[in-house]
A and B are shown apart, each in its own frame.
Chain A
């Protein structure tokens, strides 16, 4: 069953730059997909269109049954509640503890506190930070901070988890740890994961579906692909 369906999507900025051109792709529920491409390839724009940070200029982007192109600004929250987003820079609130950072997502949505607590503890446990619920982000390592960000993204049981270069700031070993967690979330919770990355080793190791975006177009789409595909595409160009 399709969770994401992108058809002939374009993103042309006001200054005339075409970031995404005629991109069509569909992603099933429960898939783990890497999106790779060089800097300025349009990979980030594509990712941003999925959570409606960018609006497609033309074409359709349907995420979980919601047409992103037609979604009014005031209704964007309806889409965001169906997905979780993780960034390279973690985006944690420095004055809040691990627990409070994760709970923040649910408090914002107006959930009652007796519902919040078990959900937050479950999410923190899923990323292996049970012992650090009372620590502030400044007392955590980079990898741990990213795990808190992942816990916050999955606390509301989203169907889709979008990760925009989540290992960009981390060393290889820590990155592997993050990938293990993401893989576990994908397999155990059935959450669809889309991850933009530059990390060649991670892509090669995971053997997941790989979308290569170059110059705003989908250059290749391979099941159990690797970063090599990306390089071969570049060479053929």
Chain B
């Protein structure tokens, strides 16, 4: 009960303090808000980029064309090897006749052209789906080493570039978020430092009458928490309305049909949860730093 009373008192005092030092609180809240808006943008960006990369990964395949004179034994050999290759997720054999039928379905002129040949000029092939697109070229290189493999193609160059750009975007946004979080923690820490200074007589009396260190420190930590949570309100509203608006306006596609946006729900709610957690944690960490540094008890 006693601990509960101290806790209630700490929460009450921290609310009082937020309003008592209103201008300082507003400065901290504004800073947290700006940071969290940027954090939200980074989260939306990096998650969407991750999603697009994932989609690309699923769609990217290596098409292995086998020589015309390939034997059934050789096909079995490569199939067995594919089963044990680390980066191979799945594979599918596609005979030259299947190719021909598919091409005929797609285009009539191709049907006529293919009919000119007495023998099907296409090659038997294997379509390989990989686990990690980053090792796509390595896997293709391994498959090219077989004598009976004519070629292994996957759109060299373009894939590496796209993945490289996406990786850079993810890393860049992550680095910015970390830097902003640190700056906010520092600013909240400064606010709490000034609060501690403005309440030094109160703290001194608390120490004199025998308040435990926890009872003295707790209101300041709560104050940081409150500042963090208040600072996350606007970013949350902007995230919900902003992202839903963007999604509705673009119809879920950016530039091309390949780049799709993640559906707003429950994604936006997850981002909002992240914002509250980051806001409150940063607030508490900032105030904890100030309490440790300026409240030597």
Contacts of B58 in A (CB 8 A): none
Interface size class of B (residues with CB under 8 A): 20 to 34
Q: Let me know if A107 and B9 touch, CB within 8 A.
A: yes
Contacts of A82 in B (CB 8 A): 210
B205 within 8 A of A: yes
Query: CB within 8 A of A51: which of B3, B9, B208?
Result: B208
Q: A51-B208, A77-B212, A105-B209 are in contact. Are A93 and B3 (CB under 8 A)?
A: no
Taken together as a complex, chains A and B put the C-alpha atoms of A112 and B211 apart, in Å, by: 15
Q: Let me know if A152 and B297 touch, CB within 8 A.
A: no
Query: Which has the most chain A C-beta neighbours within 10 Å: B1, B201, B208?
Result: B208
Q: Let me know if B5 and A77 touch, CB within 8 A.
A: no
Q: Let me know if A110 and B208 touch, CB within 8 A.
A: no
Interface size class of A (residues with CB under 8 A): 20 to 34
Report the minimal beta-carbon distance from B288 to chain A, rounded to whole angstroms.
Answer: 16
Q: Let me know if A112 and B5 touch, CB within 8 A.
A: yes
For B8, the closest partner residue in chain A by CB is A110
Report the minimal beta-carbon distance from B242 to chain A, rounded to whole angstroms.
Answer: 42
Report the minimal beta-carbon distance from B192 to chain A, rounded to whole angstroms.
Answer: 19
Q: Let me know if B209 and A91 touch, CB within 8 A.
A: no
Taken together as a complex, chains A and B put the C-alpha atoms of A74 and B209 apart, in Å, by: 14
Contacts of A192 in B (CB 8 A): none
Mind listing 16 A-B residue pairs with CB under 8 Å? A51-B208, A73-B297, A74-B213, A76-B297, A77-B211, A78-B210, A81-B209, A81-B210, A93-B202, A93-B205, A105-B209, A108-B215, A109-B209, A110-B5, A110-B6, A152-B209
In the complex, per-residue mask of A61-97: 1 if CB is within 8 Å of any chain B CB, else 0: 0000000000001101111111011000001010000
Taken together as a complex, chains A and B put the C-alpha atoms of A51 and B208 apart, in Å, by: 8
Taken together as a complex, chains A and B put the C-alpha atoms of A208 and B209 apart, in Å, by: 27
In the complex, per-residue mask of B2-16: 1 if CB is within 8 Å of any chain A CB, else 0: 110110010000000
Q: A73-B297, A74-B213 are in contact. Are A80 and B9 (CB under 8 A)?
A: no
Report the minimal beta-carbon distance from A156 to chain B, rounded to whole angstroms.
Answer: 7
